[in-house]
Structure 1
Amino acid sequence: MPETPNASAFRVFHVRPGGPAHELFELPTAPPDAGFFWIACTRNFLNEHLQHVQATLQAVTGQQLVDLHVSDLLNAQLPSHYDYTSQYDLLVFRRLAANGQQSSDSATAPADGEPPPPGPFKGTPTLRRIRTGAVGFVVFDPLLFSVHPDDCTVREAYAARLLALKTPVAGGVPGQPPAAEAPNSKLPQETRQRDLRAGPITAPRMPTSPADVMLRVVNLIVDGYLDLRRELSRQLDHWQVELLRPKARSINWTALLESRLALHQLDEICEDQRTAVQDWIDALEGWPTPDTSGGVRENELLRVRSRDVLEHIERVVHHVRRLEQSAETAVQMHFSLQSNRTNDIMRTLTALTAVFLPLNLIAGIFGMNFEFTPFVHLKEGFWWALSAMLLIALALILLFWRKRYLARTGQS
């Protein structure tokens, strides 16, 4: 192993109670004196330096990863799931790939090991974002070990948040004034002023355990799916407008089918996520009750945060299923409208045919080759016949109009 591996391949953070988090620039070789470590590496780094990583885990926690769990962490197409041993807990969670592109370590398959569809994706731009990559978390007592795709923005986003935290608990230390606002805060000026008018600012709470960090990162992943809902709704509304447009002539049915398949895939991803988080919550309920009141409170906060993550996933699942139903309803309404338009056309043509049938009958009668036919030899016979045909036609048109045989159904 090189002495100075790529800095983006792994990041190490030391989180201590009562103080801010610090980033280390090399893998630890001993358990922390206080607090815990968070080691976040890429999948390629774990694959290339597996022995060194196992040695680090042995030195810090006294335990190495099981071979099957190493395979799970290296598998980019693994669905979300939860597993555990007597020494650690393992959670694999799928996150949205950045910018709608497939993760660099899973470019050969979109999600859950399924091969990509042939040809370019013709769905809506938002549905192109439904490409996911697996993120693995291993929770020890003094350490959180996470494995991310090479282009994982979630790790960098939460690392920036973690390093920006300045207080260990919400609202500051009891008996001390609230912490001042960080000078590099990126909140808009009007937002900060509104918070000041509403009351004192509560500083973000420093994570208290490796499980707490894992849940916060998982919550950040789920927030990406929540942000996706509005764009999905807007673009599915566009499909509905196109399907229900009266003069729609060319519908890209291939794109619509691929979009519906993408929604179904998102539903399956969220179902796996919900099952994994529910299994984690069930395992959390079996943890022994701490002896101290602080430990009891930390466990309660973990349960609350876990249930919050589960509730966010359920909101995504509910929204995706509603979008699937809306798309299906729009397709059915489209074909129903097409059938109604066809019925209108056939009704109009039938009414017009009925108008001309008596006229054809009169013309056929006076076209017979008989020597003695009434009105044939009269000077005004042609005009009498033409007037009768016009009166019959007008009467039938008026009758059909009153019965709405020639009227269109109420469509815009």
Structure 2
Amino acid sequence: MQSYYFFQHPTASHIYVQDQAQREQQADQEPEFIWIDCTREDVVNRPEAWQNEIFQQCQLRVNEYHLRDILNLEHPCAFDTLDDYDLLIFRKMITPDDQIVAGEQALEKHERVFGLATTPISFMLTPQVLITIREKGNKAIESYLQRIETLISRPIDEQNKPRKLATTPLDLALRLLNNMVDGYLDLRVPLTRRVEFWQQELLQGHRRFTKWHQLLQENMAFQQVENLCEEQIETLQELRDEIVDNYPHLKGKKRSEKQDIMLVRVDDLTSHIERIQKHTTRLRSAVQAAIDLHFSAVANQTNENMRILAIITAIFAPLTLLTGIYGMNFEFIPGLKSPTGFWLMLAIMLITTILLLYYFYRRHLVGRGEKSVIDMLAQQHGDQHMNLFWFMDYEPIKQTVKGTVKGTVKTMKEIEKLTKIK
């Protein structure tokens, strides 16, 4: 557990931060707010002692049910409000940049669903205190802690020059959430490359695809990311509703931080998560499209093989008929005693084969198969040129057209007469 104290500069209008040792040196000044960062090791093994430490430091009593939610490693994203504080539980996807201990040496076992693991981060918000409970090795929060440590080593007047510090616990919580969500955006490139790999595996034609189990796991992992994004969006929406309905309670009475700024930051977080959700949806659609193309290619290849086998069967059917006829055990068969009968039969069989091949070629059944599809759609006939006005030669239509023309001429003449009368 480590604490950071955020103070208002005595002469300027910006915020500066100090650690516990620096805080003891200037105990007379009241901080704007306190950030207490805790790891799960501080809470899991000693929950009652941790509660007492939090109460001694910031006079905040943690609800027992909320403590159970904090200790639950698989608790979903949630937001709850009490009179004393607000609790936000936000699940973060464990990325390769995180150094969270896993395996047998881990304090708690993470449940991996389809190869992906997530970890909860709890935020307890009051107008004066922000308490975070996270796992050790969380890259997003530890990188922000390193930035805070760097600022602490600088003089007070130079802490706010590169970037302004947070002014309220809510502002700091939103910045920490922004660091975590921005890390998700970096996953788009490796996920896209992974989908490209599966597309190449599915659409290759030199070997049979057998990795269906792994592909199913990948597809369900994308579904898990979509579900996680949906939970995060719903939780942020509840936080946004709380900001709209009860913002003075969150920021405190002394501070003048505008509500619109907090709403913009929440909306920005939501839009980033929605981008990840839409990108994951597109990747799932790309995988599904590759699967459909794979099965279409397999079906097309099967149809091509059946077409070739059908052509072979059609060619050899007359030959089988001839050999079957002259293989019958009759005593008198025409040409049976002829010395040229064998060669004559071979010539007939060869001519039959050539004629059948020529017929199939003219019907575009031998060679390029797409021509046969085009020809079947075109429905070739002897006369390829069709008269678009063939229906005008139909006798009832002719009489109708003539009557219509005469009626039109008669009507025009009547109109002219009426016009002249007027």
TM over 0.5: yes
User: Which amino acid in the other structure matches residue 239 of structure 1?
Assistant: W
User: Which amino acid in the other structure matches residue 33 of structure 1?
Assistant: E
The separation in 2 between residues aligned to 1:73 and 1:59, in whole angstroms, is 20
Change (3 A) 1:136 1:367: same
The aligned counterpart of 2:81 is: 84
Of 88, 107, 110 in structure 1, the residue corresponding to residue 109 of structure 2 is 107
Of 296, 299, 313 in structure 2, the residue corresponding to residue 336 of structure 1 is 296
The aligned counterpart of 1:161 is: 147
**Identical aligned residues as a percent:** 29
The separation in 1 between residues aligned to 2:214 and 2:297, in whole angstroms, is 21
Is 1:366 paired with 2:326?
yes
The aligned counterpart of 1:188 is: none
Of 262, 278, 286 in structure 2, the residue corresponding to residue 302 of structure 1 is 262
Render the CA deviation track for 1:176-214: whole Å, top value 9, x for unaligned.
xxx5xxxxxxxxxxxxxxxxxxxxxxx322111111111
- Higher share in helix: 2
User: Which amino acid in the other structure matches residue 312 of structure 1?
Assistant: H
Task: Say if 2:128 and 2:252, in contact at 8 Å, map to a contact too.
Answer: no
TM-score if structure 2 supplies the norm length? 0.75
Q: Work out the number of aligned pairs and report it.
A: 354
The aligned counterpart of 1:182 is: none
Of 355, 360, 365 in structure 2, the residue corresponding to residue 395 of structure 1 is 355
The separation in 1 between residues aligned to 2:183 and 2:136, in whole angstroms, is 18
The separation in 1 between residues aligned to 2:29 and 2:52, in whole angstroms, is 16
Structure 2 matches for 1:94-133, cutoff 5 A?
94-99=91-96, 104-110=106-112, 128=115, 130-133=116-119
TM-score if structure 1 supplies the norm length? 0.77
Is 1:136 paired with 2:127?
no
Task: Say if 2:92 and 2:119, in contact at 8 Å, map to a contact too.
Answer: yes
The aligned counterpart of 2:186 is: 227
RMSD: 3.1
The separation in 2 between residues aligned to 1:293 and 1:78, in whole angstroms, is 35
Render the CA deviation track for 1:308-367: whole Å, top value 9, x for unaligned.
001111111112222222222322332222122111111110110100111111222222
Residue 256 of structure 2 aligns to a residue in which SS?
A: helix
User: Which amino acid in the other structure matches residue 143 of structure 1?
Assistant: V
User: Which amino acid in the other structure matches residue 17 of structure 2?
Assistant: A
Task: Say if 1:60 and 1:142, in contact at 8 Å, map to a contact too.
Answer: no
Deviation at 1:108, TM superposition (A): 4.8
Structure 2 matches for 1:11-410, cutoff 5 A?
11-17=2-8, 18-24=14-20, 33-99=30-96, 104-110=106-112, 128=115, 130-164=116-150, 179=161, 203-288=162-247, 295-297=256-258, 299-407=259-367
Deviation at 1:45, TM superposition (A): 0.5
The aligned counterpart of 2:374 is: none
The separation in 1 between residues aligned to 2:45 and 2:155, in whole angstroms, is 37
In structure 1, stretches of 5+ residues that fail to align are: 1-9, 111-115, 118-127, 174-178, 180-202
Task: Say if 1:21 and 1:163, in contact at 8 Å, map to a contact too.
Answer: no
The aligned counterpart of 2:393 is: none
The separation in 1 between residues aligned to 2:66 and 2:260, in whole angstroms, is 28
Deviation at 1:26, TM superposition (A): 11
- Which stretch shifts more, 30-39 or 206-215? 30-39
The separation in 1 between residues aligned to 2:205 and 2:317, in whole angstroms, is 32
The separation in 1 between residues aligned to 2:314 and 2:58, in whole angstroms, is 91
Change (3 A) 1:155 1:319: same
Render the CA deviation track for 1:99-148: whole Å, top value 9, x for unaligned.
387753442523xxxxx67xxxxxxxxxx4x3111111111112110000
- Which stretch shifts more, 382-391 or 396-405? 396-405
Larger Rg: 2
Task: Say if 1:207 and 1:213, in contact at 8 Å, map to a contact too.
Answer: yes
The separation in 2 between residues aligned to 1:409 and 1:105, in whole angstroms, is 63
Task: Say if 2:202 and 2:209, in contact at 8 Å, map to a contact too.
Answer: no
User: Which amino acid in the other structure matches residue 298 of structure 2?
Assistant: Q
In structure 2, stretches of 5+ residues that fail to align are: 9-13, 371-422
The separation in 1 between residues aligned to 2:252 and 2:229, in whole angstroms, is 36
Change (3 A) 1:39 1:296: closer
Greater RCO (CA < 8 Å, at least 6 residues apart): 1
The separation in 2 between residues aligned to 1:382 and 1:31, in whole angstroms, is 122
Render the CA deviation track for 1:33-55: whole Å, top value 9, x for unaligned.
12322111111212334344433
Deviation at 1:231, TM superposition (A): 1.3
Deviation at 1:19, TM superposition (A): 4.8
The separation in 1 between residues aligned to 2:66 and 2:35, in whole angstroms, is 18
